[in-house]
Amino acid sequence: MRDPSSLPGWLAARLLHIRPELMVIDKPAGLPLDPGRTGGASLSDWLPLLQLGKRHLPQPAHRLDQDTAGCLVLGRTKPSLAALNALFATRAVRKTYWAVTVGRPDGSEGVINAPLRKTSTREAGWRMEAHPDGQPARTVWRLLGGDGDLAWLELRPETGRTHQLRVHCAFLGCPILGDPFYGNRPHPAGLHLLARAIALPAGPETGAALACEAPVPAAMAPAFARCGAPSSNPVTKV
C-alpha cells in the first residue's frame, strides 16, 4: 500500500482511517458522490488520488447526501466492497448522526416510525414525504443539548431511506437547521447534519472491528457550540 502521506495535505486531512481493505473519509458538505449533469466537483475526482497503489479505485459502500458532511466508508478491493455492501444492507453497521434542529422535540429521546415515499411535481420537483404507503423508515433520536429554539440531536437511522433524517426531523416538528427542502429557515452555513460516527463489525474481508468519528465542520461549529457541543472536537481513529 502506498504511503498515505503521499496524499495532498487537503485530502490527507480528510482521511479518518485507512487499512488494506477499506478507508473512511470525512466528506465535506456540498460534495456529491457522483458527477452532476452540469459538471462540477464530485467524490469521483478524489478516487484516483485515494487509490494509493491498489488495483481498483476505492468505491463508496453506502450513500451520503450531497449536503451531508462526515463519515463515508469506501471499499478498497472488490471482495471488501461486496462485504461492506452486505453489512450496510443487513443493518450491521452502526451509524450515528448529529444535527442542529429548529425547535426541540418533546422529551429527551424517542423513536420515529414514519414510512417514506418519493413524490414529484412539475413546479417543485421531487422530494420525500412521510406517508403510510411509503417504505418502512425508523430513526432513534436523543436530545443532547439546546439553546432557545435550537436543539442538538443524536440520530441513529435503523433504515437507510433517501433524505430519511431530514424528513423524520421535520416530521418530529424540528426540521434541521439550513434544510432548504424540509425546513423553513435558510442558513449561510447550509444543512447542519453530520455523519458523526460509524462502527463496523469485524469480518474476513473487512478486517478488525472499526469505530471512528468525523469532526464538526467549522461552518457548523457555532450552532453546535451554542447548543452545548464541546469546543474540543477530537477525531477518533481506531
Q: Rounded to an integer, what distance in angstroms lies between the CA atom of residue 18 and that of residue 171?
A: 37
Cell of 95: 451509524
Cβ partners under 8 Å of residue 228, min gap 6? 144, 145, 146, 147, 152
In the residue annotation, 65 being an active-site residue is answered as: yes
Q: Rounded to an integer, what distance in angstroms lies between the CA atom of residue 69 and that of residue 11?
A: 15
Cell of 108: 429527551
Of 202, 191, 149, 207, residue with least CA distance to 173? 149
Q: Which of 26, 65, 67, 179 is labelled catalytic?
A: 65
Catalytic residue ranges: 65
